[in-house]
Structure formats: C-alpha cells, structure tokens
Structure 1
Amino acid sequence: MRRVGFVVNPIAGMGGRVGLKGTDGKVEQARELGAEERAPDRARETLDVLHDVDADIELVTYGGPMGAALARETGFEPAVVGSPDGDATTAEDTRSAVRAFLAEDVDIVLFVGGDGTAVDVAETVESVGEKTPILGVPAGVKVYSAVFAVDPRAAGHIVATYEDTERAEVNDIDEDAYREGEVRSQLRALARVPVATQRQASKQISGGTVEGVAAGFVDAVESGVTYILGPGGTVGQIKSTLGFDGTPLGVDLYRDGGVLVTDAAESEILDHLGERNIIVVSPIGGQGFIFGRGNHQISPAVIRQSDVEIVASRRKADDLGVLRVDTGDRDLDESLRGWHRVRIGRFETRLMEVV
C-alpha cells in the first residue's frame, strides 16, 4: 500500500486571472480584485483520479483547507497529522506539513501549488536529509519547475502508478521583477520525482530570434479584429513590430492600429472582445504549454469566444515536438487537442499537435 503525503496551498494561483502574475504578498489585493481560489478545484480533480485508480492509497494530510477537507470530499479517510496555525495559511504551514509527512514515512509528497510551494516542499525534504520523492499539481501562476505533472489528472495517475524516480530541477523567479517584465530565474533545489512522460520539463528561459515570425504575423493583421496578445518574447516581438511597447509578461489587446488595454486582467479582456477575436500565444520553451502557464488571464471564457493563433521560432518548434494545454476546463482542453497550424517564419507554418 502506497502512503501519500498530500498538502494544498489554497491561495496558489489566485493572482493569475486578475493580472497580478503571482500571489506572493498579493493575496488581499487579489481578493479585492475578485480573485477566486483555484487550487482546491485542482486538488479535488487529482484526488478523484487517485481514488479511482487506487482506492487503497493511504493518504496522510494536513488539516482544513490544506488537504483534509478535500480528501474526505473525494472518498478518502485520511490520517491528519496537523493543521495550520491560523485562518491564513503560510509557507511555514506547508513546511510543517511536509516535516510531519516525513515523520510518518510517506512514500511520496503530493503538493498543490506553484513554484514557490515547490521550493518549500523540496527544501524541507532536503533539510531533513530525506530522499522521498515529490510531485506537484500545477495550480500557481508560475509553474517553471520540472517537478510538476502536466495537469491535475496526470498527477493522480502518476502517484498511483509510478515505479521509478529521478532527479529534477526546482526553479523559482522573483515575482516583483516578473511584474516589471523581467524573468529572473534561480535554481533553488534538486528533488527526486517519479519518472513519467506526463511530467513537465523545466522551462527554458532563453530563446532565439523571432523577427521573421513577427513580420509575417503583422503582414496578416486584419481590420476589425481584436488581437489578444499573450506574454513572452515571441509575442513581445510582434507587439514591437506593431509599434508599441507591450507588457512582456502580461496580456495586451490591439485592434485597428491602436492598443485597447495593456496588462489586461480577464475581466478587461472580456469587456473589450469584439465580433471577431484572435488570441496570439507562443508555447513555453521546454514545456510546450500554450494555455495554463503564466497566461491565466486568457481564461476559458476568453478562449471560447476567440480563434487561436500559435507562433514560435523554428528552433522552439523543433525542440518541443508537441504542444500542451491546461486551462482548468477539461471539456475545453479536449476541444483544443489535435493538430494546429503554427507560424514558424514570415511565410512558413507547421502543423503541431496539442496532446
């Protein structure tokens, strides 16, 4: 019987759809902007799969919103080894939970959160000299580390069925610099993780030139169309070619030669949609995600009202092979799977599969 230590960071990812690009130190602001907790739904989806695949899993968890309530909702009878000190959960609560799990000799620590949570979990395991594997359920805005499953359902399958482990990188970035448009990534830990094809790779920060892609896109811009321009260097080059300084890590809206909104939240995007809308996104290097990583403002509600144009340098397309989505809406994810045409040059396109 496999013993699984399960912990949830309930505030992970709250800043995404309201345009905060992270939740560290921004929880109250996110709530004031109307943000809703994202992590519990992601956790519930993982536990549903875990229970269906192996109902004999023994779950060890933390009290209240950090795992126990969700575990019972999904049919588990967990062993609860502690609880957070107050109503608002903290990084130290996560670390305390992991220490308690290790004292209970769990076989793996399954956590729900983003890169910050991954750092808390990995550093705690390392600090007590353990080699217990960990696996993340992606729920944060930034999910750059290689310790995460590609989506919540995959996490449930991996934990129930993995047979071997390997080492993987845990990365985190400076959120304040990220909000100013600069990515400062730092390797924070190396953690043991399950070997699985449904685990994401570490994000590659660097990229090649994309001038040809941007020129080809701008050549094809149509009047009357609202363009929802996502984050990243490739789309950033498109913004520059269109003649404005875009938000490097945010979402900007453009129509008929003018900028409608910069650094837009989900609500602002929905307010400015027109009769025809095109979302422009580039896959994350090393991972292939076009939705669900760093662009939560482009929500399922936005995607359902828009066409999607994918752009990538030839080198990035060669390295990736396939694309991925993790919108949080399973039906939408299924509808997006299949073959899509990707612009890889001024005149060249390539078919790539969303898997």
Structure 2
Amino acid sequence: MLTLGLIINPLAGIGGSVGLKGSDGADIVKEAFFRGAQCKSSERARLSLDVLLAIKDQIKIITCPQLMGENLVAEMGFDYQILDYDELDYDKLSFQGSDSKSLESISSMNTSADDTRKAAQQLLDKKVDIILFAGGDGTARDICSVVADTIPVLGIPAGVKIHSAVYAVTPKAAGEVIAQLARGELIDVKSHDVRDIDEEAFRNNIVRAKLYGEMRVPQAGQFVQSVKQGGVEVEELVLQDIAADIVQGMEDDVLYLIGSGKTTLAVMDELQLENTLLGIDAVLDQQLLKNDVSEADILGYLEQYPCKAVMSVIGGQGHIIGRGNQQLSAKVLKKLGKGNIKVISTKAKISALEGRPFIVDSGDNDLDASFSGTIEVTTGFRDHIIYPVGL
C-alpha cells in the first residue's frame, strides 16, 4: 500500500483571478477576498484525487487538518490519518466565504508558511512514500526547506507562480503519477529545481527568480513540467513580425485580451500602448481600454463585446492556459471559445518543447479536453503553424 502525504495550501492562487500576481502575505490575501476571489486549491487537489478513487484501497493518506487536506479526503472517502493538531495552528483555516469575520481571520494568517513547514516535517517523520501538495512556488519553497531531497514530492499546480519544475503539468496528471506509483509501476525519480520570484517586483513587471534548492520528483512521461524558461527573448525581429501580423488582423469593435509575457509585450509595443507584462490588458479599436484586467472584468466585457484573446506559450513548459493567466478562468474560456484564442510564439520556443504538446490547465477537465487536438500558432508575419494541444 502506498502511504501518501498530502498538504493543501488553501490560499494558493487566491490572487490570480483578480490580477494580484500572487498570494503571499496576509494583506494580499485580504485584498484578494475583497476583490471577490475564491479558494480553488482544494478543487485543484480534488481533480488529482479523482484519478485515485478507483484504487483508493491501495492508498493510505496522511494529511493536515481541515482545509489543508482533511475536509477533502474525508468527503471523497479515502482511508486517512490526520497530523497532530497540537503542533499545527489550524484554527484559522476553518473560515468559509468572504464575510467580515472571514476577512479578519484571513488577515491574521501570518503562520501559514510555518504550518506548511511543520506539516512537511511531520510527514517526513512518519516516513510517507511521497508528499503530494497543492500550491504554488511559495508552497514548494516551504516544503523544500524541510524535505530537500530526502523523499519524493510532487506538486499539484494551484498557485499563480509556477516556475519550479516539481509540479505535474495539470492536477489530473499529478493523480496519474501517484496512481502509477500505487500500482507498483517503475518510475524514475530525479532532482528538479525549486524556484520562487519576488512578488512585489512581479507586480511591477520585473521577473526576479531565485533558486531555493532541489527536490526529488517522480518522472512519468509528459506528466511533469519542465522549469519555466526566463530571460529576454533574443529574436526581436521575429517578435516584431508576429506583432505586426496580429495588429494588422485586428477587427473593429472587437475587444482583444492581450495576455502576459514578453511575446505579447511585442503586440502592445506595436500598438504603442502601456503594457502589463505579467497581467492581461484589454484593447478595443487598437486603444487601451484597461490595464491588468481581472476575471470579473473579462466576464463583463464578454457581455458587451465580441472578444478575442492573444496568448503566448510558456517556454520550456508549453502551457497556453493556466500559468500566469488565471483571469482566463474556465468560466471565461467557456464563453470565449477556443476559436477566439490566438496563440503566438517564436518557432525557437516551440522547437524547445521537442514535440511536447501545448497544455491547457483551466481547472475543468472537460473544458481542457475540449481544447485537445491542434491549434494555429502565429510565428511571424503571415507565418502560421499548426501545433498539437494535449491533456
């Protein structure tokens, strides 16, 4: 029987859909809830555990109290054990919704990172076979500070920032890896980087990533992502050509959602408009309507205008949805439609994927499946390719 340690960071990704670029710090969490954000990391974890229901008699889960694991595994009917309440300060994790009492509770949650570290230590002491955790780069960093390379770990992507290479490409993929381990299949384990960025700099369009260590991660085909590629794109002429193609093709009275990243920055530069490097900007008739829009903003625009989205590909990973653009939620994507998404990329970035398909990780498995097949990619001026989208 596989003994699985489970940690859920209930606040991971809370700032993504409301354009806050991260979730670190009580003030940011409180602001996220004031903007209407909802906790989604448990639902991300549920997508992983759904895969394991068919073999749950082969798995014992040791997890954290309340929202950090207990509530979910109990509801799903897994055999589980709870970590020691006395060592963990989980009283503040029992909030629900976003009323004033909840916000007061959230604002005092200044020990959540410490709780994650304590939980990781307890799981290490209990000699679990692997730790599965739902969170972002901050959560990975906290676990790495305790676990390092002592036991295997695997992340369920639930945060705004996913630069580290310790995550499965989607929540469902994380479940597939754990299922293979539970069935006793042979899976390599390799060390991968844990990286995190300065969120305050991130909100000012500066990407400042730092290596915090390595953790051992099970390798299973295309289920685990690569480290995110950073740095300045050197193919400036290609980017200008891509931007010229997009701008020339813009239709009157259509609202364009220009996604995050340096590739889409070229489009905003071509339009001579202010850009939110790590957010989504709304452009109508080649004029800026609003910088750094939220999920709620986009849903409102979809009621007023025909809309299209211009998205780039995350280098090294292949995600087009689900990394740094959570404002394009499943609800948004259902209204927008695959046909209204324009993907742009240099051929060099696509070649670096070595044939791995693009990934859509919206948090809705059925929606993700609807994107499978192929999608057209603008790779230059009047230069397009067809590239596969996988699950």
Shorter-chain TM-score: what band?
over 0.9
2:58 counterpart SS class: coil
Q: Is 1:114 aligned to residue 116 of structure 2?
A: no
Q: Is 1:246 aligned to residue 275 of structure 2?
A: yes
2:255 paired residue number: 226
Q: Is 1:146 aligned to residue 165 of structure 2?
A: yes
Aligned to 1:301, which of 318, 331, 344? 331
Contact 2:56–2:78 (8 Å) recurs in 1 = no
1:284 paired residue number: 314
Aligned to 2:198, which of 168, 174, 183? 174
Q: Is 1:91 aligned to residue 113 of structure 2?
A: yes
Letter in 2 for 1:353: P
Q: Is 1:213 aligned to residue 270 of structure 2?
A: no
Q: Could you list the structure 1 runs, at least 4 aligned residues long, displaced by more than 4 angstroms after superposition.
A: none
Residues 4-23 of structure 1 deviation map (CA, whole Å, 9 limit, x = unaligned): 11111000001000110111
Displacement, 1:240? 0.8
Contact 1:229–1:281 (8 Å) recurs in 2 = yes
Letter in 1 for 2:294: A
1:55 counterpart SS class: helix
Residues 184-207 of structure 1 deviation map (CA, whole Å, 9 limit, x = unaligned): 011111110101120011000123
Q: Is 1:74 aligned to residue 76 of structure 2?
A: yes
Higher helix proportion (structure 1 or 2): 2
2:40 paired residue number: 38
Letter in 2 for 1:343: T
Contact 2:59–2:79 (8 Å) recurs in 1 = no
1:79 counterpart SS class: strand
1:5 paired residue number: 5
Displacement, 1:329? 1.4
Displacement, 1:245? 1.7
Letter in 1 for 2:64: Y
Supply the distance in 2 between the matched residues of 1:55 and 1:239 (Cα, whole angstroms). Answer: 53
Aligned to 2:156, which of 130, 137, 141? 137
Matched residues, number: 352
Displacement, 1:144? 1.2
Supply the distance in 2 between the matched residues of 1:225 and 1:46 (Cα, whole angstroms). Answer: 37
Aligned to 1:203, which of 228, 231, 234? 228
2:147 paired residue number: 125
Contact 1:317–1:344 (8 Å) recurs in 2 = no
2:380 counterpart SS class: coil
Segments of structure 1 that go 5 or more residues without pairing to the other structure are none
Supply the distance in 2 between the matched residues of 1:317 and 1:344 (Cα, whole angstroms). Answer: 9
2:10 counterpart SS class: coil
Displacement, 1:69? 1.4
Displacement, 1:340? 0.6
Letter in 2 for 1:285: G
Letter in 2 for 1:258: Q
Residues 9-57 of structure 1 deviation map (CA, whole Å, 9 limit, x = unaligned): 0000010001101111111111111110010101122122123244321
Displacement, 1:212? 1.2
Point out the more displaced range, 196-205 or 77-86.
77-86
Letter in 1 for 2:22: G
Supply the distance in 2 between the matched residues of 1:45 and 1:319 (Cα, whole angstroms). Answer: 29
Point out the more displaced range, 62-71 or 157-166.
157-166
Q: Is 1:100 aligned to residue 133 of structure 2?
A: no
Aligned to 2:49, which of 47, 50, 62? 47
Structure 1 length-normalised TM: 0.96
Aligned to 1:256, which of 266, 285, 288? 285
Contact 1:51–1:57 (8 Å) recurs in 2 = no
Contact 1:230–1:280 (8 Å) recurs in 2 = yes
Supply the distance in 1 between the matched residues of 2:329 and 2:69 (Cα, whole angstroms). Answer: 26
Displacement, 1:301? 2.4
Letter in 2 for 1:156: G
Letter in 2 for 1:278: K
Supply the distance in 2 between the matched residues of 1:10 and 1:52 (Cα, whole angstroms). Answer: 25
Displacement, 1:123? 1.5
1:349 counterpart SS class: strand
Displacement, 1:277? 1.1
Aligned to 1:157, which of 152, 165, 176? 176
Taking only aligned residues, the RMSD between alpha carbons, in angstroms, comes to: 1.3
Segments of structure 2 that go 5 or more residues without pairing to the other structure are 93-108, 182-186
Letter in 2 for 1:38: K
Q: Is 1:339 aligned to residue 341 of structure 2?
A: no
1:286 counterpart SS class: coil
Letter in 1 for 2:126: E
Letter in 2 for 1:203: K
Supply the distance in 1 between the matched residues of 2:335 and 2:74 (Cα, whole angstroms). Answer: 37
Letter in 2 for 1:120: D
Aligned to 1:315, which of 348, 356, 363? 348
Supply the distance in 2 between the matched residues of 1:257 and 1:4 (Cα, whole angstroms). Answer: 52
Displacement, 1:270? 1.7
Point out the more displaced range, 266-275 or 328-337.
266-275
Residues 92-120 of structure 1 deviation map (CA, whole Å, 9 limit, x = unaligned): 11111110011111111110100100011
